[in-house]
């Protein structure tokens, strides 16, 4: 079943428990239909406290378990996850409005592939080694607070839980309260796989309550957060008095430079697909496309053609390629920003405000493309988090690079064109990941941002290192 039987409970110290007095409930909406599919419990600070204390009590025993045994546990988690793959796909299609084929082929797959990649990296990692007479040891940092978003639920849960477990950490997970179904299923998977009690805990709740308590609690050693830059700064401030490690994957406004020598038609169409994937709700989406000014009209025509190929419809339909936004709050934000683009004089190539034609319910928006955008416009500065693409013409490559870097964000960047021409441009872009010619997803590449897009790196071995302390035992060699 896609709906967990534990929707109103938390997973603490190896058991499903009811919330403590003071907890409230929140309806879980299917954004494609606006129907409430169930209610999730929202915990209090006291619920967070008991989960954190359970993790603290379990840490000393778990962190000394040999690495091979910790890897074996994560392999069991992978096996159970795979056996429930369709449940995860259905849950994410329901909770976030992902078209079912996207939920299967991208959302559920992301959780699976990241667990696989973390296992492989852990098996290849050198956990201890000698440097001179000193023994260098990688060991778990301690109790970790894991706070994950709604837009890629299993991607982010897997990218935090799997490396934290293998590193020897214990943890409390707070999934997004507006997309909690898949997180509860993941807790069921951990239980079935035999995770020792207290090692993995889950509490649902609001960020300013449960998230804030997790970030400030003196028994938490590290916070790993994925979400908005605004929330990330609040978490960093809450963590500062206890000098926790804080790893953050935050917002983005990723540039996509189409080189003058690129195949404009193919590069633009692929760029539109990248921007519109997941209904534009990806922090690393290529939302600012830079095209040679002399070929701007070709780019606009190719972009409109790509937008016209988007299929909007019921998320249960295999032909649907774009679902709704996650909520009315997000819908209203995207509408405001589309209107800002129109008001500030950008050229509307296609789309606009309002729902798509023939759609009267669900938080669906029109795939929207703006041309003749300048770097000062609101749609070029703010993270929209919807299927809205800004196309900015440039006169020369130096100008394109300067505009691409003129942002407070630095999560990802894209370049389309001959690889040898793209390589020197890649070195000039201030972003944690630079993608050349829309490559396949590399789950062994480091993922994280420069500037206000965060700090730390996730995926495979990079994620494991983020959850480790480095100890030097001096004199080990005699």
State the catalytic residues: 249, 283
Q: Which element (helix H / strand E) includes 181?
A: helix 181-193
Max CA-CA distance within the chain?
77
Q: Are 197 and 107 in contact (CB under 8 A)?
A: no
Radius of gyration of the CA atoms of the chain, in A? 23
> Measured between alpha carbons, how far is 226 from 251 in angstroms, rounded to an integer?
9
- The contacts of residue 63 (CB under 8 Å, 6+ apart) are 139, 140, 168, 169, 170
Q: Which residue do the tokens 């025993």 mark?
A: 61
> Measured between alpha carbons, how far is 181 from 89 in angstroms, rounded to an integer?
11
Q: Are 254 and 221 in contact (CB under 8 A)?
A: no
User: How, if at all, do strands 134-140 and 128-131 pair?
Assistant: antiparallel
> Measured between alpha carbons, how far is 315 from 210 in angstroms, rounded to an integer?
31
Q: Which residue do the tokens 């062994």 mark?
A: 444
Q: Which element (helix H / strand E) includes 433?
A: strand 433-436
Strands (DSSP E) found in 148-197? 170-174
**Phi then psi dihedrals of residue 169, to 5 deg:** -95, 160
> Measured between alpha carbons, how far is 253 from 438 in angstroms, rounded to an integer?
17
DSSP-derived secondary structure letter, 210: I
Please, how many CA atoms are within 13 Å of residue 438, restricted to the half-sphere of its CB? 17
Q: Which residue do the tokens 């819908």 mark?
A: 331
Q: Which residues of 117-138 are buried (b: 16+ CB within 10 A; e: fewer)?
A: bbbebbeebebeeeeeeebbeb
């Amino acid at each position: 079943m896609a709906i967990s039987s534990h929707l109103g409970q938390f997973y603490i110290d190896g058991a499903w428990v009811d919330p403590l007095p003071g907890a409230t409930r929140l309806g879980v909406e299917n954004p494609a239909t606006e129907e409430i599919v169930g209610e999730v419990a929202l915990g209090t600070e006291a619920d967070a406290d008991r989960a954190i204390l359970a993790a603290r009590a379990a840490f000393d025993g778990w962190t000394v378990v040999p690495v091979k045994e910790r890897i074996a546990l994560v392999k069991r988690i992978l096996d159970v996850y795979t056996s429930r793959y369709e449940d995860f796909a259905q849950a994410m299609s329901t909770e976030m409005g992902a078209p079912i084929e996207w939920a299967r082929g991208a959302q559920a797959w992301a959780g699976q592939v990241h667990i696989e990649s973390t296992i492989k990296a852990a098996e290849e990692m050198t956990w201890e080694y000698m440097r001179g007479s000193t023994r260098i040891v990688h060991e778990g940092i301690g109790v970790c607070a894991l706070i994950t978003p709604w837009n890629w639920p299993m991607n982010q849960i897997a990218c935090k839980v799997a490396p934290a477990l293998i590193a020897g950490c214990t943890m409390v997970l707070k999934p997004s309260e507006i997309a909690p179904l898949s997180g509860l299923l993941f807790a069921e998977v951990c239980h079935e796989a035999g995770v020792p009690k207290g090692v993995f805990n889950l509490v649902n709740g609001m960020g300013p309550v449960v998230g804030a308590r997790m970030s400030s609690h003196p028994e938490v050693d590290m916070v790993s957060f994925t979400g908005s830059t605004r929330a990330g700064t609040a978490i960093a401030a809450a963590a500062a008095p206890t000098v926790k490690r804080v790893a953050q994957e935050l917002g983005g406004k990723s540039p996509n430079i189409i080189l003058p020598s690129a195949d404009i038609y193919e590069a633009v169409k692929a760029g539109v697909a990248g921007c519109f994937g997941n209904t534009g709700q990806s922090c690393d989406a290529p939302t600012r496309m830079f095209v040679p000014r002399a070929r701007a009209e070709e780019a606009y025509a190719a972009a409109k053609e790509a937008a016209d190929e988007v299929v909007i419809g019921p998320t249960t339909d295999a032909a649907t390629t774009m679902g709704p936004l996650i909520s009315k709050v997000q819908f209203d934000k995207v509408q405001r920003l589309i209107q800002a683009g129109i008001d500030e004089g950008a050229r509307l190539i296609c789309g606009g405000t309002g729902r798509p034609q023939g759609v009267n319910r669900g938080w669906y928006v029109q795939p929207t493309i703006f041309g003749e955008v300048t770097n000062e416009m609101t749609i070029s500065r703010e993270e929209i988090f919807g299927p809205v693409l800004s196309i900015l013409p440039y006169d020369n490559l130096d100008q394109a690079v300067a505009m691409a870097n003129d942002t407070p964000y630095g999560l990802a960047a894209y370049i389309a064109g001959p690889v040898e021409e793209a390589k020197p441009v890649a070195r000039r872009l201030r972003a944690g990941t630079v993608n050349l010619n829309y490559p396949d997803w590399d789950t062994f590449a480091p993922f994280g941002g420069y500037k206000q897009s965060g700090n730390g790196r996730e995926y495979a071995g990079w994620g494991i290192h983020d959850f480790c302390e480095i100890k030097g035992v001096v004199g080990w060699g005699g």
